[in-house]
């Protein structure tokens, strides 16, 4: 069930889910950019993508898909892997940053659902 059908059937549940879902894709991309910055690549910072502003990250089609089918995406943050201090480990860390962020957000959501 997509979020749009949830909006029709239960507007309160839609509001409770829409913002966390939108920000989950933002946090995912922000994590990639922050870790890249920690390893010496400032491409995301230079592009103004190290922010929580949804307009900096949201992809129109990815956002629409998020609402239609519950799965979406954001614009990827720019990363120049050649500028990373420790290229091999930095590459792995930047790549895993988004996945780790998603797992942490899922753990937080499961914890909050207990209440």
Which pLDDT score, from 0 to 100, does residue 101 have? 96
Who has greater pLDDT, 9 or 63? 63
Q: Is the dihedral of CA 78, 80, 84, 90 positive or negative?
A: positive
Q: Average pLDDT for residues 72-97, to the nearest whole number?
A: 91
pLDDT tens by residue, 28-69: 999 999 999 999 999 999 999 999 998 899 899 998 888 788
Query: What SS3 state is found at 97?
Result: helix
Q: Is the pLDDT of residue 86 over 90?
A: no
In this structure, what DSSP letter does residue 69 have? H
68 as an active site residue: the answer is: no
Q: Pick the catalytic residue: 3, 6, 22, 29? A: 29
Who has greater pLDDT, 87 or 76? 76
The whole model's pTM is what? 0.85
């Amino acid at each position: 069930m997509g979020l749009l059908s949830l909006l029709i059937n239960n507007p309160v549940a839609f509001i409770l889910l829409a913002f966390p879902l939108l920000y989950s894709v933002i946090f995912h991309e922000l994590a990639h950019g922050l870790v890249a910055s920690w390893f010496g690549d400032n491409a995301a910072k230079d592009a103004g993508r190290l922010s929580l502003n949804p307009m900096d990250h949201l992809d129109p089609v990815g956002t629409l898909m998020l609402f239609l089918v519950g799965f979406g995406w954001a614009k990827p943050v720019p990363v120049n892997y050649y500028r990373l201090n420790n290229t091999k480990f930095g590459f792995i860390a930047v790549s895993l940053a988004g996945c780790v962020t998603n797992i942490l957000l899922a753990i937080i959501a499961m914890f909050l659902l207990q209440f």
